[in-house]
A and B are shown apart, each in its own frame.
Chain A
Amino acid sequence: MGEPSPVLEMTGIRKVFPGVVALDGVDFRLFPGEVHALMGENGAGKSTLIKVLTGVYAIDGGEIRLGGSPVQFTGPLQSQKAGVSTVYQEVNLCTNLTVAENIFIGREPRKFGRIQWGLMRKRAAELLTRLDLNIDVSATLDSYSLAIQQMVAIARAVDVSARVLILDEPTSSLDASEVEQLFKIVRRLRDEGVAILFVSHFLDQVYEISDRLTVLRNGKLIGEYKTAELPQVQLVEKMIGKELAVLDDLEEKAQRTRTRTAEAAPILQATGLGRVGAIAPFDLTINAGEVVGLAGLLGSGRTELARLLFGADRADSGELKIDGKAVTLRSPQAAMKHGIAFSSENRRTEGILGELTVRENIILALQASRGWTRPIPRRKQDELVDKYIKALQIRPADPERQVRNLSGGNQQKVLLARWLITEPRLLIIDEPTRGIDVGAKAEIQKLVAELSDGGVAVLFVSAELEEVLRLSHKIEVLRDRRLVEELENTEGVDADRIMQTIASGANP
């Protein structure tokens, strides 16, 4: 496929930040008409490489050639003009403007200084049709799903300049069918000759879409490979630089505890619990020391179910028993009194408080449950925080650092620490491993297994079936805001079996 002349060639790229060498002699090539995945853990240098390429950072060494001639970008605008466009993880568009406005913002077609709205809409519609996206361009962006918004962002990027397209974690908040829709567009652009740089934490997606991949680790180039010739396990080993023993450990542990929890007492029993418009009435029992997995597509009601059990939303039907006693959870505080903890899927908007320090974030829930009149003594705070920074290996191990300066994986660990110090009996975690690197992911999964061994019940919500299968004793499958099936995680249960239920809905 690829002709032997790359559209983009980076050689010996070096970038130094005070005290850190972020990129050390990294080479990277991108051919027209290929999807090239850039792989590495958080902190490996992926983002730095992208920022160097788009002119956000100036390089300290090396050379960037675009279309054969050396370039030196001093800003994103300049790189965009030269044909390098980026679509970021979080959609960088204005959701309150229309689709057409978003595509042409800053470069509206004008005549005598007046914006030609008709022409703008017409061109936007043409562009989207070319990408097989038939939507109303005069509707505001927030009337469409995140996936569509993401595609509009891509359409804009492609229209601005179409030689090199960088997709930075474009799928992190999309469900399976939306990812498929997005990939269709990516493939079409690839076939048109656009060189696409793809960054994702989802290995399966990387294997599905990419032709070639480059692996970075600690700012150094590990190698460039043809995707088809590199097995997944080897890729992961190259990324984290150690064998995947942690994950193998887990498999055994889950098997072991499964037998033990059979006689454990139920902590929580929901009968016909539901909320109109959020989740249809469901029955669910969670025992002490049990890991219950919630599987289902995005929008299938996973989060809604979890929120009911935490009192984040109120149930309007059914009954909830905790330790055999009927309770009504009117608020998160009420649930916390019963030893229930909930870590939200929206880490940044519903989880961490970026401006506050690691210490303050960790003690927050415990402090909230004590009330403002009974502050946790500072010495006790330091003790608890130190303990959990060590136990969860939060990096950097500085309790007085603002949480917003930590990587996603470490923020997630801070959130988990926040709940662990409240010593919950039931921990509800919604998408704890989304958008974090493989190493941190494995550590969090290990932690869940350990908690369960220690008698804590865990309700584990995740879009990744492998993860749910690996950890759970019991799997609840959701579809269209309805709990459709409960599966004991025994030998015969695998991802295909769950996918079937998600797809068909009924018991096979």
Chain B
Amino acid sequence: MTILKNRLFWPALILVALLVVNMFTANQFITVRDGHLFGVLPDILRGSAPLLLVALGMTLVIATGGIDLSVGAVMAISGAVACLLISKLDNQGSLGSVLLIIAVAIVASLALGLWNGTLVAAVGIQPIIATLILMVAGRGVAQLVTDGQIINVQSSPYAAMATGHFLAVPIAFLIATAAVVLTVLLTRRTALGLLLESVGGSPTASRLAGIRAKRITVMVYVVSGGFAGLAGLIYSANIKSADSISAGNLIELDAILAVVIGGTALIGGRFSIAGTVIGAILIQTLQVTVVAVGVPSKATLLFKAVIVVALCLSQSATFRQKVFGRFKPSRPAVVAEVAA
């Protein structure tokens, strides 16, 4: 009963159901080939890394009552910066140079997050508007960086971020896992989580309780920018090029969806990292499943929408009451009759 009441029960159940479907439809669900994990499950985990990273940052932003629409644009910029710099290297295979360039791209993304945070906290622009600015302008910036071209790179260390393996496990998945662990430690091992939830609950009350609400608000946008930048690197490493138009296109919506599926309310306050992880992997699994079960490509968006609607309904207390509530009272009534 208590498991049933848990907010994450239904998303987790649907995730498991989708995975089971994949077990039957896929040629290889999970196996070891050439010394690393291979099959649909590792593919899902690898493929969900960018969305998971973006959704993690989004969770923290939403917890403060904000929203970050610029994550897709930040992904494009960070990929563009990295590919431009790598393409100018004499030796694109140099691990040291590539790591340095990755660091530069992430610092740039953090700076973009700082820009968002400043607009929201210091200037006082509504989050949806403040981040909309970068959402639109950011893609322009990315195109300026790449001069309107798609920059291709031939760097094996860079590509490894997306397609490589470490100890048989996809590196992209390891990066995302590390980010999750880092976020959990950052929010639950320190008091940051509590202060975040407090600011999301009421910025005014939080300020009067002595919380530096503005500083915390800026911080979550910086974190969101950083994670989006990292996601952008994985995305561009996967296609070995910087595509300013399609990198992270509409990912902000999937990320918001993942957060909401995970049980974090859009008005801010309480948040759940575990919920976001389930939400992000669920969305990725859904995408894979749609292809695997052979839903015609014309109908994939509709199919996805139906699953999401079902999921949202399963989380609605009112809906559950209406559908399942009427069956419950009948049982005690029957018992009473027998007893009488």
Contacts and interface: CB of A to CB of B under 8 A. Distances in A.
A84 B191 CA distance: 49
Interface in A241-275: none
B6 to A, nearest CB: 16
B270 interface: yes
Contacts of A135: none
Most chain A CB atoms below 10 A, which of B192, B195, B211: B211
B94 interface: no
Given A353-B201, A354-B201, A373-B190, A344 B208 contact: yes
Contact of B210 (A350, A365, A374): A365
Interface string A318-352: 00000000000001110010000010100001111
B180 to A, nearest CB: 19
Interface in B1-50: none
Candidate in A356, A368, A376 with the most chain B CB atoms within 10 angstroms? A368
Given A353-B202, A355-B270, A368 B197 contact: no
Of A312, A355, A371, the most chain B CB neighbours within 10 A belong to: A355
Interface string A363-382: 11101111111111000000
Given A372-B191, A375-B189, A375-B190, A353 B198 contact: yes
Nearest to A419: B209
Given A367-B194, A372-B190, A353 B208 contact: no
A310 B209 CA distance: 11
A109 B207 CA distance: 46
B206 interface: yes
B204 A349 contact: yes
Query: Which label, helix, strand, loop or mixed, suits the secondary structure of the B interface?
Result: helix
Given A353-B202, A353-B205, A333 B194 contact: no
A212 interface: no
Most buried by A among B191, B195, B204: B191
A interface, how many residues as a size bin? 20 to 34
B212 A333 contact: yes
Given A355-B197, A356-B201, A367-B195, A350 B190 contact: no
Contact of A342 (B194, B197, B208, B211): B208
A336 B211 CA distance: 11
Most chain B C-beta atoms within 10 Å of own C-beta, residue among A342, A349, A353, A367: A353
Contact of B197 (A310, A349, A356, A376): A356
B190 A369 contact: no
A418 B194 CA distance: 14
Contacts of A370: 191
A360 interface: yes
Contacts of A312: 207-208
A180 to B, nearest CB: 31
A376 B205 contact: no
B190 A365 contact: no
B197 A372 contact: no
Looking at chain B, what size class is its interface with the partner chain? 20 to 34
Interface in B167-197: 189-192, 194-195, 197
B211 A364 contact: yes
A370 B194 CA distance: 13
A350 B204 contact: yes
Contacts of A342: 208
B248 interface: no
Contacts of A310: 208
Contacts of A363: 194
A364 B204 contact: no
B219 to A, nearest CB: 9
B189 A364 contact: no
A333 B207 CA distance: 8
B269 interface: yes
Contact of B209 (A365, A371, A372, A376): A365
Nearest to B197: A356
B332 to A, nearest CB: 14
A369 B210 CA distance: 6
A376 B191 contact: yes
B26 to A, nearest CB: 42
Contact of B205 (A352, A369, A371): A352
Given A355-B269, A360-B194, A375-B189, A368 B209 contact: yes
Contacts of B192: 372
Contacts of B202: 349-350, 353
A350 B203 CA distance: 9
B270 A351 contact: no
B209 A418 contact: yes
15 contacts: A331-B207, A331-B212, A333-B212, A350-B205, A353-B197, A353-B202, A355-B269, A356-B198, A360-B194, A363-B194, A364-B211, A369-B210, A370-B191, A371-B191, A375-B190
Q: Across chains A and B, which 9 residue pairs bring their CB atoms closest together, nearest first? A: A368-B210, A353-B201, A375-B191, A368-B211, A372-B192, A355-B269, A372-B191, A336-B210, A365-B209
Given A332-B210, A360-B198, A376-B191, 19 more contacts: A312-B208, A342-B208, A344-B205, A344-B208, A350-B208, A351-B205, A355-B270, A356-B197, A356-B198, A364-B198, A364-B206, A367-B195, A368-B210, A368-B211, A372-B191, A373-B190, A373-B191, A374-B191, A375-B189
